[in-house]
Each structure stands twice: as C-alpha cells, then as structure tokens.
Chain A
C-alpha cells in the first residue's frame, strides 16, 4: 500500500481511505472536489448575472465570512466563547484606516494606501491584541470568558468614541482604508468592469485565501490541538497539549482574521464610525458561526452570507406580508422583524438543529446518498 494515498484510492469508494494523507486531505472525496469547484465557478461568474447593488451586498458577505471564519476558529474549533469579536474588528478597521488615511486630514493618517501594507498590518495589530487577551482565556473558562470578552466590547467602544483624533468621534466617523495596490486602484469602474463587480471579485479572492488558510490550519497539528481543547480541555492537557500556548494561538489567529475583516469591511461603504462596533455586531458574528454550524469552515461562510443577507430578505418579505411597514416609526416594521429574527433564528437553530446550516446540508446529503432507501 503506497503512502501517497490518492493513487491507491478505489473508484466508487469515496470514503475508503488507505493512508493518513488521504484521510486528512483538504477535499477528501472527489464529490467534494467537484462541488467546491463548481460553486467557485458559479461565484466567479455571478457579476455577469446580478445587478451591481446585489454584488456590493455579496462583497460585504464575503468580508463578513472572513470575520466569521476567524470567530469560528476560536469558538467553533477551540471552544473558547468570545463575545468580543467586534472589538477586534474595530482594531483592524482603525489600524488600516489610520495607515492608509490622508496625512493632512482631520484624523490620524499616514498616507500609505497600499493594501499590501495596511491589510497585513491590520491583521498583525489585531492579532497582537488577541495575544494580550489570551492570558485571560487561559485563566478563565466558559461563561466567565464570555463576560470578560463582552467587557472588552464596552471598553473598546468607550476608547474609540473618545479618541476622536483617530476615529473622528461618535456620530462623525472617518473614511475607511483605500483599496489600492502599488498605485493601482483595485476597485474603480474601468474597462474590465464596474466598481462593484471588481469589489466583489476582490473580496471573493480574499475569502478564498482566508478560507483555505483556515481549513489548512484546522487539519494541522494546531487545529487538532484546538478541537482537543474544545472537547475536553483537561484531557487535552493530560495528553500533552499546551493549553496556554494553543489558546493564545487560537485567539491570535481569530483576532487577526477579525482585524483583516474589519479593515476590508468598511472599504465597501467607504465610511464608518465608532458606534458600529457594538455588542450587536458581536452577537451577529456569534449568530453567523452558530447558525452556519460551529466547528466547520463552510458553515461559517454559509452563516455569514445568511446573516448579512437577512436585512435584504426581510425587506423583500415586506412585499408579501401586508401588515409590515417599511417606516421605522410604525409598528410592526421591517427593522423590528429583522432584529427579532437574529434572536429567534439563534434560538430555533440551537433548539432544533445545533449543527446549523451545515447540519441541514448533512441531512440533505445523507438523504440523497441513500435514496430511495431511508438509510
């Protein structure tokens, strides 16, 4: 039996693994390979099928997915509940905006508009912030940690709304980072496409890179350490997983993802103010991870798309439900329904399908795998 695995694989037996390499492969079955490839082709082709306004929304979805993957790593894989994701998003967003900002403007800016500089910097600074928080995570477990990270959001919100030299102050805000690569604007209407088309492709590319990196991390030694800590941290410690070290790594990677997502998120709208980084944002990211399916990369992506598209869906729903109003001062209106849905969906998924959207997909897949038999 050869150690390479792939060549010895039997046709028509996708689940028969004859080596560790094939068992741990990124796309371990041919069906997975084809379906991901086809999905990707569809995603790349979308700008030719959809109007620009929808593409902009999908670009936001892609960035949100990067952030959700990051939270998924620390909460879904390593099992450390963090309600502080909004804080790390904010750190990334402000690092990027400050580095690429106008040096002569009313807020801090260093004028380095190259995305090759500000994006890694945002990830690095946020990651360092995560490392600083990690010692708390090694001392605290479960709900204690959740409350402490919730405290981070409030402290962060205070700092960001008071430090108006950096953030422009509450209610005013500052421009986001500039999308530019060595002098080439990355998202400007040109011969190749409109701004929104390019924006979507760019964010899709970033999502692909970050998702592949996370999937690879999850199947590495580090990822296995994460899941060991999640499933039983004492047992993990006993078999030789260094808890402090791997919790620190989990927080660092997760915050770095959040930092990059925060840096990219507001380039779509171009402007942001400190009140965006509230507890609600953290709850939305938790909802993305849990509704999508904790402990899976594809689940985090699905959850991010679902939650980000939810406001749009409720607005469409208004046409079908006559008693809903689109005016914010009438009751019941779509904005209320939207907020309630975050809460209700969280409850419904946790009660009836704890594996989230990913779990629903598994059910559908298993049904058709065995069709026409029930199992």
Chain B
C-alpha cells in the first residue's frame, strides 16, 4: 500500500509537469487551431536558461526570468514563422512548428555542451515523510505540484476575470465574431504563444529538477502529446486531468513492471502512448474534447 501511494504521489509530481506542458499545447490550439510541435524546444530552452541564470540570481528569480525570455522566444517564432501562415491548413503550420523545433533544439543543445548542467533547484532528491503513514514524498515532486497548482489557478483566473482573458476565450470560440467585436486576434495569437512558451520553460525546469539538463529532456515534452489527446485537444481542464492521470499511470507502470517482465525494461516510457491509443479507440475526441461538427 505504501508503495502504491508513493507511486501515486510521484506520479502527481511528474504529472504536474505534463499538465503544464499540455496547457501550453491546448492554449495554442484553442487560439490558433494549430498543434505546436515547437513546445519541446521551448521547454529545453527554458531549462537551459535556468541553468545559466541560477548562479547569479537564485532559483526562483531564474525560473521567472527564464520563463519570460522563453515567452519572448515563442513570440518571435510566432511572428516570424507562424503568423504568415494564417489561413493555411493546420497540418502545414504544424509541420512548420516541427521545423522550428528541430532548428531551435540544435541551437539550445549547443549551449548545453559537454558539461553536466543543473537547474540548481533547492530540493535535489531529498524527501519529506508524511507523518503517521510512513510515506516518503520527494520534495521536488511536492514543489512541482504546488507550483503547478498556483500557475493553473492564476491561469484560470486570468481567463475568467481579465479583459484579455475574455478576448482569448472569445477568439477561441469564434475568431471572426471576435474580430468583428474589436478583439485583436493577432494579439491573442501572440499571447497564446507567449503563455505556452513561459509554461514550457517552468515545466522544463521542474522536469530537470533533481537531475541534470541534457539533450534528451525534450522527449518529456512529447509525452504531453498523448496527454492532450487523452484530455481532448481543446479542453484546459482536460489537459490538467490528463496530465496528472498520465503521470500517475506512468509511475505505477514503473513501480509494478517487474510483474510483467515480458514487456521489457522502461515500459513506463511508452505507457502514455499505449493509453492514448486505447482511449482513442473508444473516444476519438478525447475524454473532455468537443466533438467536431462536420458541415458540408
């Protein structure tokens, strides 16, 4: 039982990283109807920026600055590579972001170099014991979970209570109608990309907390793809629930995989994809996604 609960808590920790990444994907999708495959590159860029900034300014400030800088990078990418493609098929834009991802990651990898780089988080691999249960919880997972909770609350408040949030919801609901009402759809696009970039940077930092930043970190961001499919491409709550669910199931698979040795080692890496295939067979638009209406 202790093992089970520990796995679940670990899963919620990694799951919150997925949730942050998935939120970025969903925000971009809702605003622009495009899946941005550039998220892995932004996540890696954010984590690498933190490793450079943590020395001079400390961890939390470094995360903040890195998130802002990555948001700036995302804004630039949106302006240069994505904005000219407005009105073109979504698949073409998605492939463009794939190209952006490959190009940006090479540059970022150049900054990783050969040294082991740490994000310098205050937790490392230390644990806290939850009194009375004998469960050990890693501090970094607790940190990731709490930070994600705060960010999600802030994000939902932003969409709910601010003018710009309202504009973003309007543009997501009906772009032309929003445009006719005076909403600057261009600003909505830019803000969506900026938010996604910032969230990816935070997610990258927590994904690398307690470990080191290396070129393989971007694969974690790809796990957010099954997450958004699972939750539904256009559902923010779906992204959060999907992220936590995928993280939990992945950690449970990692804990209990010795009972199924024929699956091979590291089977937890592919559980999100298998889960995605299974869910899609039953619900083609994910758990919370809206069913597309087909008009002739």
Contacts and interface: CB of A to CB of B under 8 A. Distances in A.
B296 interface: yes
A139 B284 contact: yes
Interface stretch (B134-142, B192-200, B271-279): B271-279
Given A140-B284, A235-B296, A329-B114, A162 B265 contact: yes
B270 A154 contact: yes
A151 B276 contact: yes
A77 B129 CA distance: 59
A350 B85 contact: yes
Interface string B92-116: 1011101111111011011001100
A344 interface: yes
B174 interface: no
A151 B102 contact: no
A290 B95 contact: yes
B231 to A, nearest CB: 12
A48 B107 CA distance: 41
A155 B101 CA distance: 22
Contact of A151 (B96, B228, B277): B277
Interface string B50-93: 00000000000000000000000000000001001100101110
Q: Looking at B35, B100, B103, B294, which has the most chain A CB atoms within 10 Å of its CB?
A: B103
Contacts of A152: 273
A351 B84 contact: yes
Interface string B17-54: 00000000000000000010000000000000000000
Interface in B264-296: 264-267, 269-270, 273-274, 276-277, 280-281, 284-285, 292, 294, 296
A144 B280 CA distance: 9
A146 interface: yes
Contacts of B277: 136, 148, 151, 155
Given A150-B225, A158-B264, A351-B81, A343 B280 contact: no
B92 A350 contact: yes
B226 interface: yes
A142 B29 CA distance: 13
Contacts of B270: 154-155, 158
Main secondary structure of the interface of A (DSSP, over half): helix
Contacts of B296: 234-235, 238
A139 B279 CA distance: 12
Q: Looking at A143, A234, A279, A329, which has the most chain B CB atoms within 10 Å of its CB?
A: A143
A143 B228 CA distance: 12
B229 interface: yes
Interface in B224-273: 225-226, 228-229, 233, 263-267, 269-270, 273
A286 B229 contact: no
A346 B263 CA distance: 37
A107 interface: no
B280 A139 contact: yes
A343 B106 CA distance: 10
A144 B232 CA distance: 10
Interface residues of A, number: 42
B107 A142 contact: no
Contacts of A329: 114
Nearest to B97: A347
Main secondary structure of the interface of B (DSSP, over half): helix
B91 A142 contact: yes
Contacts of A326: none
Given A286-B95, A346-B95, A350-B95, A234 B229 contact: no
Contacts, number: 121
B110 A336 contact: yes
A162 B233 contact: no
A147 B106 contact: no
Nearest to A139: B284
Contacts of A155: 270, 273-274, 277
A142 B264 CA distance: 32
Interface string A336-352: 10011011111100110
Contacts of A148: 229, 276-277, 280
B279 to A, nearest CB: 11
Contacts of A283: 98, 102
B121 to A, nearest CB: 27
Nearest to A140: B284
B28 to A, nearest CB: 12
Contact of B100 (A136, A150, A343): A343
Nearest to B110: A331
Contacts of B267: 158
A143 B93 CA distance: 11
Contact of A81 (B81, B91, B233): B91
Nearest to B267: A158
Nearest to A233: B294
B5 to A, nearest CB: 27
Nearest to B41: A343
Interface string A122-152: 0000000000000010011111101110111
A345 B81 CA distance: 12
A332 interface: yes
Contact of A144 (B104, B263, B274, B284): B284
A148 B101 CA distance: 19
Given A143-B35, A158-B270, A342 B110 contact: no
Given A155-B270, A331-B110, A343-B101, A351 B91 contact: no
Given A152-B273, A350-B99, 7 more contacts: A143-B90, A147-B225, A158-B270, A162-B263, A339-B102, A339-B106, A350-B96
Interface of A: 81, 136, 139-144, 146-148, 150-152, 154-155, 158-159, 162-163, 234-235, 238, 279, 283, 286, 290, 329, 331-332, 336, 339-340, 342-347, 350-351, 354
The 7 closest A-B pairs by CB, nearest first: A162-B264, A343-B103, A343-B102, A346-B99, A151-B273, A343-B99, A347-B99
